[in-house]
Homo-oligomer: A and B are copies of this chain.
């Protein structure tokens, strides 16, 4: 039994991690400001006596450090971040504060209270526009979104804290992740647009953008495997699924699942938005060598996500 802090644990991925870590008998504290997370994501966790939830903001150093003062954590799963990549084009502070500075404060708190193990949610966006199937040692690293920049910056500080204070880190880089509890993204946008206009769906870009969509439960399984089975100073892995899905396929699946017969209108251009990486594929050899492969295909994962949202009626109108 480990004593675990999950930052951003009320969010999409963090809450699934909480469920999985509780199921293994660990004690879990979730710290979340509920800006993107939802308490309802923790409905199951709340029933477990080994679980506690603290509402708070990592940027409030005093409040956040108190959690370390009062708990003797073995490890921190740092999942808190802005997760809406398109958003910070207008205001880069969104990612500088919520994606980078949160990581930095987590590291400072760990240093202060001598907690030396961190599992970190990084991203394929650190690789920028690389169109080849990038492996973990790819360079140069020139991210094109502020989100990617903030995650790369976070990795950089995790690395220097490892060297300076004897930390150990598990850095897992995610592609697009979908499934139950997802909070935004193309699927949401399409459902919302179709509710406003069931006859026509506007899709940003030419619809040819193609990416791997990893199912959240597969992702969580892989994160835990990496954490348990590797033991270097810095362990770093691409996590992903071999198949990919085009944006136009997502649009078609949404129309189909909603039982509509809408026409798709593409705005054109190869990018959906500034900072969007239009085509991406990962090299997954390193994680596959650990004996893990995603069970759910990219298309299936997208469809599960669509059905979950439609069943719960989670979209706004």
Contacts and interface: CB of A to CB of B under 8 A. Distances in A.
Nearest to A139: B139
Contact of A108 (B92, B142, B153, B234): B92
Contact of A104 (B96, B139, B140, B159): B96
A141 interface: yes
A128 to B, nearest CB: 7
A267 interface: no
B160 A234 contact: no
Interface in A143-173: 143-146, 148-150, 152-153, 155-157, 159-164
Given A136-B140, A153-B100, A156-B152, A274 B163 contact: yes
A141 B139 contact: yes
Interface in A40-94: 89, 92
Given A96-B104, A275-B164, A149 B157 contact: yes
B140 A236 contact: yes
A89 B156 contact: no
Nearest to A141: B141
Contacts of A155: 141-142
B143 A159 contact: yes
A137 interface: yes
Contacts of A148: 156, 160
A209 B148 CA distance: 34
B142 A139 contact: no
A276 to B, nearest CB: 10
A233 B161 CA distance: 31
B128 A144 contact: no
A108 B126 CA distance: 21
Contact of A137 (B111, B139, B145, B160): B139
* A111, A136, A142 interface centre (most CB from chain B within 10 Å): A142
Given A96-B104, A104-B96, A143 B156 contact: yes
Instruction: List the 5 closest A-B pairs by CB distance, nearest first.
Output: A139-B139, A153-B153, A144-B163, A149-B156, A149-B160
28 contacts: A89-B164, A92-B104, A92-B107, A92-B161, A92-B164, A96-B157, A126-B156, A128-B159, A139-B139, A139-B140, A139-B141, A141-B155, A141-B156, A142-B156, A142-B159, A142-B234, A144-B160, A146-B157, A146-B164, A148-B160, A149-B157, A149-B159, A149-B160, A152-B152, A152-B153, A156-B156, A164-B274, A164-B275
Given A142-B156, A145-B163, 18 more contacts: A89-B164, A92-B108, A92-B157, A92-B161, A139-B141, A140-B236, A141-B152, A141-B156, A143-B159, A143-B160, A144-B160, A144-B163, A145-B160, A146-B157, A148-B156, A149-B156, A150-B156, A163-B274
